[in-house]
Amino acid sequence: EQILEENVSRIQGIAATHDLLSTAELGMAPVDEIARKIVGIVRGNLVPPELRIRFHISRAPFPVPSEQATTLAIVLNEVIANAIEHGFGGRDRGEIRISGALQGDAIVLRIADDGKGLPTGFSIEKADGMGLQLVRRLVESELHGSVHIHKLEGSPDLDGAPDDQGARITDPLLPSVVVESTEQSEAPAEQRWTITELRFPVVITESQ
C-alpha cells in the first residue's frame, strides 16, 4: 500500500508540474511554485493522519524549463517522502522547510527537516534506499548537478544557527519563510535538522 501511495504521489506530482508548465510563460516554471505543488500532493497522499507536519516554502522565483521542472518535481517528491517515512517515526509532529537561492549560474535548493536525523556514518553515495538512489541518479544524470545531505544544529528558524564548533553562522538559503500552515510550532529551543542540498545549473533555453 505504501509503495502504491508513493507511486500515486510521483504521478500526481508530474501531472501537476505539467499543468503548471502549460499555463506558465514560455514553458518555464518557478522553483517555489513546483515546490508548492509537490507539498500539496505529498500532504494529501503520504502524511499519515496522526502526524502533523508544518511545511514552509521560501520565495524562490527561479524559472526552470520543462525538462528540469519535471525532474525536479520527482526529486522533491522523493526527498520529502523519505523525510516523512524515515525522519518522523514515533512522533506526532514535525517541520519541513524548502528554500532556494541563485548562486552564480546554479540554483541551490535545500530541503530541511527536523526529524530524527542521519545515522552515524551516513553517505548518500552508500545509501541503499530506493528513494535516495533515485534522487542521486536524477540529480546527477538529468539535472547535471549534485546532491549532498548533512546535519545542522541550531535554532528553529535556522537563522544564524550555531555550527558544530559553536560559532554563529548565517545560512542565506534558509531565510524567513512563507508558512504553509496555521499551526503554531511547539518545537524545542534548539533543533537538529537534516539538510538535503540540491545544486544544478540554470538551463538557458533559446526562447530566453
**SS3 readout for 73-110:** HHHHHHHHHHHHHHHCCCCCEEEEEEEEEEECCEEEEE
pLDDT digits (tens, 9 = 90+) for 178-199: 334 434 444 444 568 999 999 9
Which of 139, 136, 144, 155 minimizes the C-alpha distance to 193? 155
CB distance 34 to 73 below 8 Å: yes
CATH of the domain at 130: 3.30.565.10
User: For cell 505529498, what's the residue?
Assistant: 42
Alpha carbon distance 174, 99 (integer Å) = 6
- The total domain count for the chain is 1
**Any domain includes 155:** yes
Q: What pLDDT, in 10s, does the model give residues 123-150?
A: 666 666 677 888 899 999 999 999 998 8
pLDDT tens for 35-59 read 998 998 888 888 888 999 999 999 9
Domain membership of residue 206 (yes or no) is no
Q: Tell me if 171 is assigned to some domain.
A: yes
Helical ranges in the chain per DSSP H: 2-23, 31-45, 66-87, 130-141
pLDDT tens for residues 1-33? 556 666 666 676 667 666 665 655 557 889 999
Q: Does 208 fall in a domain?
A: no
The 3-state DSSP class for residue 190 equals: coil
Pairing outcome for strands 106-113 and 93-103: antiparallel
Residue 11 falls inside a structural domain: yes
Residues 6+ apart with CB under 8 A from 158: 97, 112, 152, 171, 174, 193
Residue 44 domain-assigned? yes
Q: Where in the sequence is the domain holding 172, given as residue range(s)?
A: 2-201
Rounded Cα distance between 143 and 64, Å, is: 11
> pTM of the prediction?
0.74
Report the pLDDT value the prediction gives residue 202, as an integer from 0 to 100. 86
